A = this chain, B = another copy of it.
Amino acid sequence: MTVNANTVNIKSDEAYHHGDLRAAAIALGLEKLASQEVPDLGLRAIARELGVSATALYRHFAGKEALLEALAAEGIRQLGASQKAAAQRAGGGTAAFQATGVAYVEWAVANPALFALTFAGKTRPNLAMSDADGDENEAFRQLQAGISSVLPAMAPSADRASAAMHAWSLVHGLANLILAGQIDDDPQVIRSVVAHTFGLGGGAADCA
């Protein structure tokens, strides 16, 4: 296992000035994103806040876009981890599937800027199509696992793929609409909308 340079590894102190600048930049970027609603990060601002010259970051990133991609990778990793934790907490089966959906939306709402960045532009890595081996694909793996727990294993793969896209679209759209201020950020609403589709096998945990 190679050391993943992307991970947020804040060595306690005495770190970066002549240490690991790349990691420090990513850590600070995440920190700034966490306290912002819109991902308008600036290289200069990061460098300044890091006590380093503006152009120093070019030794570690090809440009602004490269830094943003690194942050996006971290974002998708966190999202996947959050979903995985929610699924485990819920046990298994349909409940776990719904939990991943709710976790998706809640993570997005809790991390607006990072979520926006993660899915911004066409330059981002294609999550669904990649071979789901990397650590950053936990999100899609959770989706597939959820599908498996709801649809019988013998269902045609076309149905499974369609269901996956359906579920993903639902939570993704709900998250985006909430972030756009078009739908209220109400846990009850989120749960209800998600349950409506994610429980599709049996329908209606919510309707009773």
Contacts and interface: CB of A to CB of B under 8 A. Distances in A.
A105 B28 CA distance: 36
Nearest to A127: B182
Interface string A148-175: 0000000000000010011011111111
A166 B193 contact: yes
Contacts of A126: 181-182
A180 interface: yes
Interface residues on A, range: 35 or more
A109 to B, nearest CB: 12
Contacts of A174: 165, 169, 173
Given A166-B193, A169-B170, A192-B162, A176 B119 contact: yes
Which residue of A119, A124, A180 has the most chain B CB atoms within 10 A of its CB atom?
Answer: A180
Nearest to A203: B206
A181 B125 CA distance: 9
A162 B193 CA distance: 6
A173 to B, nearest CB: 3
Contact of A169 (B38, B121, B127, B173): B173
A206 B182 CA distance: 28
Nearest to A116: B120
A52 interface: no
A172 B127 CA distance: 19
A119 B180 contact: yes
B203 A196 contact: yes
Contacts of A171: 169, 173
Contacts of A196: 162, 166, 203
Interface of A: 37-38, 119-122, 124, 126-128, 162, 165-166, 168-177, 179-183, 189, 192-193, 196-197, 203-204, 206-208
7 contacts: A122-B179, A127-B182, A128-B183, A170-B173, A172-B172, A173-B176, A204-B207
